[in-house]
């Protein structure tokens, strides 16, 4: 199929192929940009601190941070900090998510429970759990458990609110279908309410995960003797800023890792979306 226009031959297939190739190049460029941006930041940082534009005492070059990381890792104390923090995050996360999902589902499914609990959730939500840390330490001591409780408290709210929203936002026609086909309360919960609420619920869990990381660092800064937050805080107080940066990078790394993991999980358990 060739068409002549102004003496030039046009092949529609070829035209489309050219377009497709252009699009491929564009897509590739976008991916490249995503990879390049953090590298540029790191490079600039490295150059600026080496040339003295950035004060090396406050902003040690990334290469120095990496070598400090290996020193700390070699001495073994880094692993203690990491494992302690990860344990606290995991325990606190679960202790926030499980009650959050349970109470959220109950509130979503039963209007009286929702109306009864809503004001309590609303009243407590704006209080940063970290502001309650002194009370939490009085109640639970300065051990692991007080950190776990602090994280759980912060994770609970986004999870409970998203779970309620998840249940309430299930399209009404699915509730009609369930009723019309004589669904029992148990089947209704497992076949309609829970799977229907799952996508929005998972968004809440994703938020909870981010909040857990924010909280752990702050919680370990006050009244802790180990953990990544403790590493950041004591390094800062001793003016060992390379060590402090190692701690910050670790938090960033784990945040990224957990996000990837939860996104993967989401794809697995909500394949119908």
**Between 199 and 255, CB nearer to other proteins:** 199
Supply the minimum distance, in Å, between the C-beta of residue 161 and other proteins.
Answer: 22
Q: Which is nearer to other proteins, 50 or 267 (CB)?
A: 267
* Own/partner pairs, 209-212, CB within 8 angstroms, 24+ separation: 209/93, 209/155, 209/258, 209/259, 209/262, 210/255, 210/259, 211/154, 211/155, 211/158, 212/89, 212/92, 212/93, 212/96, 212/151, 212/154, 212/155
Q: Which positions from 244 through 273 interact with other proteins, judged by CB under 8 A?
A: 270-273
- Choice between 198 and 244, CB closer to other proteins: 198
Q: How far is the CB of 188 from other proteins (least distance, A)?
A: 9
Contacts of 219 (CB under 8 A, 6+ apart): 88, 130, 133, 146, 147, 150, 151, 229
Work out the end-to-end distance of the chain between its first and last CA atoms, rounded to an integer number of angstroms.
41
List, in sequence order, every residue forming a beta bridge with 9; answer none if it has no partner: 4
Residues in binding contact with other proteins, number by CB under 8 A: 22
Our finding on whether 19 is near other proteins (CB under 8 A) is: no
CA distance readout (Å), 80 to 38, 54, 111: 29, 32, 46
| Sign of the torsion formed by the C-alpha atoms of 46, 47, 51 and 52 | negative
Residues 160-199 that bind other proteins (CB under 8 A): 171, 173-174, 176-184, 187, 191-192, 195-196, 198
| Residues in contact with other proteins, shown as a per-residue x/- string from 194 to 223 under the rule CB under 8 A | -xx-x-------------------------
Are the C-beta atoms of residues 96 and 149 closer than 8 Å to each other?
no
Q: Which is nearer to other proteins, 145 or 174 (CB)?
A: 174
Which residues between 49 and 78 bind other proteins (CB under 8 A)? Answer: none
- E strands, the chain, in order: 3-5, 8-10
Q: Which is nearer to other proteins, 22 or 267 (CB)?
A: 267
For other proteins, the closer of residues 58 and 181 by Cβ is 181
Which positions from 76 to 95 touch other proteins by CB under 8 A, shown as an x/- string? --------------------
Binding site for other proteins (CB under 8 A): 171, 173-174, 176-184, 187, 191-192, 195-196, 198, 270-273
């Amino acid at each position: 199929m060739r068409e002549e226009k102004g003496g030039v031959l046009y092949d529609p297939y070829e035209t489309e192929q050219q377009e497709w190739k252009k699009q491929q190049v564009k897509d590739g460029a976008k991916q490249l940009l995503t990879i390049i941006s953090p590298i540029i930041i790191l490079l600039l940082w490295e150059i600026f601190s080496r040339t003295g534009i950035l004060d090396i005492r406050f902003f040690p070059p990334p290469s120095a941070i990496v070598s400090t990381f290996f020193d700390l890792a070699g001495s073994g104390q880094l692993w203690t900090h990491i494992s302690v923090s990860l344990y606290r995050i995991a325990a606190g996360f679960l202790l926030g998510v499980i009650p959050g999902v349970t109470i959220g589902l109950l509130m979503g499914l039963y209007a009286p429970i929702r109306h009864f609990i809503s004001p309590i959730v609303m009243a407590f939500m704006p209080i940063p759990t970290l502001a309650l840390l002194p009370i939490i330490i009085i109640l639970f001591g300065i051990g692991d458990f007080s950190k776990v409780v602090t994280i759980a408290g912060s994770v609970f709210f986004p999870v409970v609110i998203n779970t309620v929203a998840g249940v309430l936002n299930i399209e009404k026609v699915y509730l009609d279908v369930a009723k019309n086909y004589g669904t029992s309360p148990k089947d209704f919960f497992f076949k309609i309410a829970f799977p229907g609420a799952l996508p929005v619920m998972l968004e809440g869990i994703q938020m909870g995960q981010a909040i857990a990381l924010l909280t752990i660092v702050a919680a370990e800064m006050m009244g802790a003797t180990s953990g990544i937050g403790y590493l950041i805080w004591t390094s800062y107080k001793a003016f060992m800023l390379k060590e402090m940066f190692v701690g910050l990078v670790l938090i960033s790394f784990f945040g990224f890792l957990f996000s990837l993991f939860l996104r993967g999980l989401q794809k697995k358990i909500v394949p119908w979306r």
